[in-house]
Amino acid sequence: MVMLKPKGKEATLIPDGTYRAALSKVTRFDNAYGTRIGFEFTLQGKGVDGQKVMRSTSPNLSPSGKLADVLRGLLGRDLKPAEVEAGIDAERLVGTECSVLVIQSRSKNGNVYSNVERVFPLAGNLFN
């Protein structure tokens, strides 16, 4: 007998839009693109409460890179030159509330997933 099963649980698709969220986890992992940093956000609000979405970036911190964009959204400000040079402990940002723009995207193998396209700060939630 040859048993055929699905690869895994299908991801829950979140409708395109902007949602209130909190950074719930930061992980380092490797995939076909090399080493990545994964930012997991837990959505808050009616119909999406508790759902998780992710944004991954290169671990290389530069002022104009995608990693800096995510950090700016979480910090609510531009990165200081000293932070770019010395690095930032992203795990200290776990629990930070923000807004995320979620857009459904298609992977190279054709799977549709909910991608965090952009991270925005919440007013009054700024680190100095």
Residue 74 domain flag: yes
Domain encompassing residue 111 = 17-121
pLDDT at 33: 82
Place of tokens 């690095």: 87
| pLDDT tens-digit series, residues 49-91 | 999 999 999 999 988 899 999 999 999 999 999 988 888 899 9
Cβ 89 vs Cβ 61: under 8 Å: no
Instruction: Count structural domains, the chain.
Output: 1
3-class DSSP state for residue 71? helix
Q: Report the CATH number at residue 99.
A: 2.40.50
Cβ 93 vs Cβ 81: under 8 Å: no
Q: Give the rounded distance of the alpha carbon of 4 from its chain centre.
A: 33
Cβ 43 vs Cβ 23: under 8 Å: no
Q: Whole-model pTM above 0.95?
A: no
Cβ 37 vs Cβ 107: under 8 Å: no
